[in-house]
Structure 1
Amino acid sequence: MSGNLQVLGACPLDCPDTCSWIVTVEDGEAVKMRGNPDQPYTRGALCVKVNRYLEHTRAADRILYPLRRTGPKGSGQFERISWDEALDEIATRLRGIVDEHGGEAIWPYNGTGSLGYVQGCEGVAGRRFWNMLGASRHWLNICSSAGSSGLRRANGTAGGMDPENIARAKLILLWGTNTLTSGHHLWKFIQDARADGAHVVAIDPIRTRTADQADEHIAIRPGTDAVLALGLLNVVLAEGTQDEEYLAAHTEGWDDFREEILKYPVERVAEITGIPAATVHSLGMRLAHTRPTAIRATMGIQRHAGGGTAMRTITAIPGVTGDWRHPGGGVAYSTSDHVHFTIDTREDLLAEPVRTLAMTRLAAELPSVKCLFVYGANPLASTSDTNRIRREMLRDDLFTVVMEHFPTDTADYADIVLPATMQTEHMDLHAGYGHLYLLWNEPAVSPPGECLSTTETFRRLAERMGMTEPSLFDTDLELAEQLLSSGHPSLEGVTLDRLRKEGWMRMSYPKPFAPFADGFPTRSGRLRFPPPGKAYVPPHTAGKDGLTLITPAAHTFLNTIFGNNPELRRRSDKPRSSRRESEGRANEERSGGVIEHAPVVLVNAADAAARGLADGQRVRVHNANGEFLADVEISDRVAAGVVASPKGRWPKFSPGGAGPNAVVDERDADMGKGAVYHDNIVELTPV
């Protein structure tokens, strides 16, 4: 790697944009990273987070060698060991657990740290190895499963409209999505639509960055989105603008669903959603008379008790209006179901069926687990009910291995920590869940220290355990070839050689792409409307006293990735008072240079006054599950009854060592065992 190279790659992070990037390498060192100007979705731009990615790969706290715990669990005290020592200890412990408790006592806990199909969660990296051991299956359901389940019940697939086609829309509903923070490349297509006269509405409990830039912000009560959808359709029916031809040709259950819509007149919708009746009616009129209408709804909308039903009811809107027939109309949630790779996890390697463990139920299921093997995840910061998880991870009889880049809260509880490569150091194949492009990531530099890729780690572990099954040792290029071998029409013309040379390719879908203009991939070929009485599931918080806590994405973190970056942590902080500054300096001195950063909790002025709270005051945010400490920011960005504290901070850097997930209940949404991060009641008490 001598001389000057321009290496094509792709962002691996849990974001719909999956950007194409170019890394400049000089004499073996990555010196610059920029968005690929030739890629139609990236258009040369990266986000505020990924702009610091090269800096992140060289951070002083990067884990470069295998580590073995020397202090108590949770202390973060480790010693450096060799790979041989680490592999020997893991192999010995795994054999012992399988012999004594069976393979199902092992939980491979894989998260969305990388969305790669070779190294990351999308291709279920390591599953062949775990199948050989008979380990429990891991259900990666924490992010989007409720919404995906709702869409599949309606449309037969979670794949919807091509987000690029939003540029053709005349009415754009950004529903429960903060585009400028969580997928800002879509905004360029929204701007294209606005230049052509489109009206943009942000429907969100919080007045986000995106809501500030929209033509209209509608503050909805959390968890009542399905009711608003029914109310808007009520106006459509009153105007008589439903698409009767489309309804007759491409939907089923319309007569019953029509009766359900009629139960939600504007006045009733206003009472349930907290939206003024005039606003509901006005938006209903726009929807009734504007074609095409595009709805962009992402994962935040479905993180409550009725999340799956909400997405199912929202996707019914273009079925009634006929927007599914128009390029630029429909719902864009995720494009993942338009990706048709061959993901061969070799289920035939299992000697017998095994149980499936849902990652949203980590606290409840850990008592039955003897080995927790975590990769691409930081559950002690990202998963519900972290206090119960922490107590379980203190168990002496739980052998925990964490494959990581940095010393996260979860890594502190590991028995063995394995150093993992980052995206510029390994190869991978990607497909965005917010567009229709495939991307290749070529390694730009050699891994630092003794870091290994996920695939290489499992190859070495399989060898150490004496496994001989050939598929366990497939190279990364062989795995990529297998992924592209499905023969699906969407991959026509796509080859690995071409991807490696060009860096990205659009899948072979028409442009413009209207996936449901002529029907749906359901058994009947029709959109299935919600059955009678099943179009709305109230949130758990409905009718309860207290404040509904929302934990939206932070602008400077992606889940908990970058939560250890000093500059991005600094940018995430609300400006401190002089008292808070002096406390911060004292904390820095006490903690050896690591400043504690308190989360901020946004509180409406009425709720603050009722509790005697002042701006900047530190409070306990608490309920029966636990508590975390936060600094109050009195703000009109949240309505009365709602408080918001952005996710992404590491608990270990927060006062009290806890974050917002300490108060999030481990409950299931109505579909897909989805998480309920936005469906929890809390109270605020001054510290």
Structure 2
Amino acid sequence: MLGACPLDCPDTCSWVVTVRDGEAVTMRGNPDHPYTRGALCVKVNRYLEHAKAADRILHPMRRVGPKGSGRFERISWDEALDETAARLRGIVEEHGGEAIWPYLGTGTLGYLQGAEGVAGRRFWNVLGASRHHLNICSVAGNTGLRQVNGTPGGMDPETFALSKLILLWGTNTLTSGHHLWKFIQEARAAGAYVVAIDPIRTRTAEQADEHLPIRPGTDAALALGLMNVVLAEGAEDRDYLANRTSGWADFREEILRYPPERVAEITGLPVAGIRALGVRLAHTRPTGIRATMGIQRHAGGGTAMRTIAAIPGVTGDWRHPGGGIAYSTSGHIHLDIDTRDDLLARPVRTLTMTRLADELDESVKCLWVYGANPMASTSDQNRIRERLLREDLFTVVVEQFPTDTVDYADIVLPATMQIEHADLHAGYGHMYLMWNEPAVEPPGECLPTTETFRRLAARMGLTEPSLYDSDLELAEQLLSSGHPSLEGVTLDRLRKEGWVRLNVPQPFVPFTEGFPTPSGRLEFGSGPAYVPPHTASAAPGPYPLSLITPASHTFLNTTFGNNPELLRRSKGPRVLVNPEDAARRGLGDGQRARVFNGNGGFEAVVEISEKVRPGVVASAKGHWGKLSPGGATVNAVVDGRDADMGRGAVYHDNLVDLVPVSPSSSADSPALSP
């Protein structure tokens, strides 16, 4: 059975599931898919095992213990629907629909069941619920790219095989989207030079031809410095600048304010290294830049993406296959996502995902969590816990496993996993639409999210016909936008073939006919081209170390955070510390430390390494608090601040310190594996 990986990864793999006697027995990457090429990642290779795990939630449950205790009793679907419908109806009647916060995450990126599309949104519009700003992942970068190119869509990642210079900028390809590496290898075989720009010497940085260990959040300054060298070399594409861009004169003056010497002071990189890469950039066509979501999770994240996106405008790389910038291909997806906003009786407020600790106040009477695990994944963790303990808050969690967030629910509803439901996907790291056909029947009483909302709408007596559209009807609607990129893409074809490339040329060179901006040109814009991170601009204080929280190689956000084998491979929460910083604090390799600031703290095993520069520490996201020593995750120290654009998250822009933890103080902490 052909399907597609639903997880929050640019690669959106095509997979093949073998079913025997109604049971999924094997899963492998689809060898016929041009991007997947037969390979899955270390995480998804355990997907079938995960779906059969002993701790899978299989039935509706009602809380019987105190909030946070994780104590529940099994109830029937009729009981769950009756109680939930009555509570929602009462909240709407007494407080209005805005008292409901539908908190949707990126647990699945499906256009039917998950974050990308229509799951539940029509239902919430009928009730007049508050809108949910899903800002946790990419919004600052998306906003910055739209200001320059008019869209976050950029290069087809497959064209990196044609690049001669590849800048992997703030992205760990071999952990977070490893299928791109095949195309990078093709480029290297043809003579391409690969540079990793990253505060950590990651798996990817170790495989690159050159690694620039930049200070976190100073990427825009480096971009300006590189363009400064391009100008000094007289290598700017003057024809492209004159005919395909706007705002160049002012932006050129901004570039001139950032010579390599100034940029070296800001970024912590040597002047010679900045100048050498600038010269290489000036004279190497095409140059492809891969910059993904981690790069924009700081105070100046949107500006950073906007400034980096200016580079292909200066060099003229958009002329060439293999030239430009690849952040997300989502801007090239033109599905008709009809959430029926006309069903809203009046405008409603918007509540912001990463501000859960601030905005989950007494005006919110129901928190409905699906595809999300905010107790482990969202910033300002300790204050979120306080909010979730409110007795007047009715919390419903739609889930597959007993996550940290489930422990605070009043009602838990069992959700299907990808091999058990239908969904439509589009990778944000390639140019293919994917269909996921259910391979097996759901276990227990698990339901697709779409079916849960259909049943709840019926139990509430709602009569809006679109609330009852089937999954196949919803998929047909999504494909009906009429955009030229969808010509020839039908649901019947997708169900038969499993995947279809968008109707675009191959190789795909975007913006050959102009940019989707007001001027039709690449727009350099005005204002500052570098906004310092909070860690650089904050006054000296008690927390001198800059913390970044990269993706784990074994978890996908907090998905798989309870898988015993992947937990074992992760070696538990760890924190990378430079030898200089470790020595100052009396920390030894393998010792447990508390990482803390004014928000709280978490415990992790120290790994002394020069993979991080002095003044920087790193601890991967994805662990569950209930399975971690001390009961907290890295998000206990992450601020609930906003980035400069789109209210983006700031997971890589926090100040902390470390102290040793004595063995006795952690004796009663949860184990690192179940």
What secondary structure sits across from 1:73 in the alignment? coil
TM-score normalised by L of structure 2: 0.97
Contact kept? 1:313, 1:530, Cα under 8 Å: no
Write the distance in 1 (CA, Å) between the matches of 2:459 and 2:102.
Answer: 18
What secondary structure sits across from 1:308 in the alignment? helix
The one-character-per-residue Cα deviations of 1:119-167 (angstroms, maximum 9, x if unpaired) are 1110041000001100001111110000000000111101011111000
Counterpart AA for 2:326: A
Deviation at 1:527, TM superposition (A): 1.0
Pick from 320, 325, 331: which aligns with 2:319? 325
Matches within 5 A, 1:57-206: 57-206=51-200
Pick from 419, 430, 451: which aligns with 1:424? 419
User: Which residue of 2 is the match for residue 564 of structure 1?
Assistant: 562
User: Which residue of 2 is the match for residue 671 of structure 1?
Assistant: 645
Deviation at 1:468, TM superposition (A): 1.1
User: Which residue of 1 is the match for residue 669 of structure 2?
Assistant: none
Pick from 603, 608, 613: which aligns with 2:582? 608
User: Which residue of 2 is the match for residue 394 of structure 1?
Assistant: 389
Write the distance in 2 (CA, Å) between the matches of 1:631 and 1:187.
Answer: 30
User: Which residue of 1 is the match for residue 477 of structure 2?
Assistant: 482
Write the distance in 2 (CA, Å) between the matches of 1:142 and 1:655.
Answer: 25
Deviation at 1:530, TM superposition (A): 3.5
Q: Does 1:555 align with 2:529?
A: no
User: Which residue of 2 is the match for residue 413 of structure 1?
Assistant: 408
User: Which residue of 2 is the match for residue 277 of structure 1?
Assistant: 271
Q: Does 1:335 align with 2:333?
A: no
Contact kept? 1:67, 1:79, Cα under 8 Å: yes
The one-character-per-residue Cα deviations of 1:246-289 (angstroms, maximum 9, x if unpaired) are 00011111011111111111111001000011110110011000
What secondary structure sits across from 2:485 in the alignment? helix
User: Which residue of 2 is the match for residue 642 of structure 1?
Assistant: 616
Write the distance in 2 (CA, Å) between the matches of 1:200 and 1:604.
Answer: 25
User: Which residue of 2 is the match for residue 578 of structure 1?
Assistant: none
Contact kept? 1:147, 1:311, Cα under 8 Å: yes
User: Which residue of 1 is the match for residue 666 of structure 2?
Assistant: none
Deviation at 1:611, TM superposition (A): 1.4
What secondary structure sits across from 2:26 in the alignment? strand
Deviation at 1:100, TM superposition (A): 1.1
Deviation at 1:664, TM superposition (A): 0.2
Contact kept? 1:440, 1:504, Cα under 8 Å: yes
Pick from 225, 228, 231: which aligns with 1:231? 225
Deviation at 1:566, TM superposition (A): 0.3
Write the distance in 2 (CA, Å) between the matches of 1:630 and 1:418.
Answer: 33
Write the distance in 2 (CA, Å) between the matches of 1:518 and 1:482.
Answer: 28
What secondary structure sits across from 1:542 in the alignment? helix
Q: Does 1:453 align with 2:427?
A: no
Deviation at 1:518, TM superposition (A): 3.8
Pick from 517, 523, 528: which aligns with 2:523? 528
User: Which residue of 1 is the match for residue 665 of structure 2?
Assistant: none
User: Which residue of 2 is the match for residue 299 of structure 1?
Assistant: 293
User: Which residue of 1 is the match for residue 203 of structure 2?
Assistant: 209
User: Which residue of 2 is the match for residue 492 of structure 1?
Assistant: 487
Contact kept? 2:118, 2:338, Cα under 8 Å: no
Write the distance in 2 (CA, Å) between the matches of 1:360 and 1:654.
Answer: 22
Write the distance in 2 (CA, Å) between the matches of 1:660 and 1:20.
Answer: 32
Deviation at 1:620, TM superposition (A): 1.3
Contact kept? 2:241, 2:313, Cα under 8 Å: yes
What secondary structure sits across from 1:23 in the alignment? strand
User: Which residue of 2 is the match for residue 404 of structure 1?
Assistant: 399
Pick from 519, 536, 544: which aligns with 1:542? 536
Q: Does 1:365 align with 2:359?
A: yes
Counterpart AA for 1:420: A
The one-character-per-residue Cα deviations of 1:41-88 (angstroms, maximum 9, x if unpaired) are 000000000000000000000000000000000100000000000001
The one-character-per-residue Cα deviations of 1:319-346 (angstroms, maximum 9, x if unpaired) are 0000011110000000001000001111
Pick from 211, 216, 223: which aligns with 1:222? 216
Percent identical pairs in the alignment equals 79
TM-score normalised by L of structure 1: 0.95
Write the distance in 1 (CA, Å) between the matches of 2:187 and 2:158.
Answer: 10
User: Which residue of 1 is the match for residue 635 of structure 2?
Assistant: 661
Pick from 290, 306, 323: which aligns with 1:312? 306
Write the distance in 2 (CA, Å) between the matches of 1:375 and 1:63.
Answer: 14
Q: Which consecutive residues of structure 1, in runs of 5 or more, have no partner in the other structure?
A: 1-6, 574-596
Counterpart AA for 1:560: T
Pick from 621, 624, 642: which aligns with 2:598? 624
State the number of aligned residues: 656
User: Which residue of 1 is the match for residue 20 of structure 2?
Assistant: 26
What secondary structure sits across from 1:189 in the alignment? helix
Contact kept? 1:326, 1:517, Cα under 8 Å: no
Q: Which consecutive residues of structure 2, in runs of 5 or more, have no partner in the other structure?
A: 662-674
The one-character-per-residue Cα deviations of 1:64-116 (angstroms, maximum 9, x if unpaired) are 00000000001000000000000011001001111111100100000000000
Deviation at 1:501, TM superposition (A): 0.2
Contact kept? 1:325, 1:518, Cα under 8 Å: no
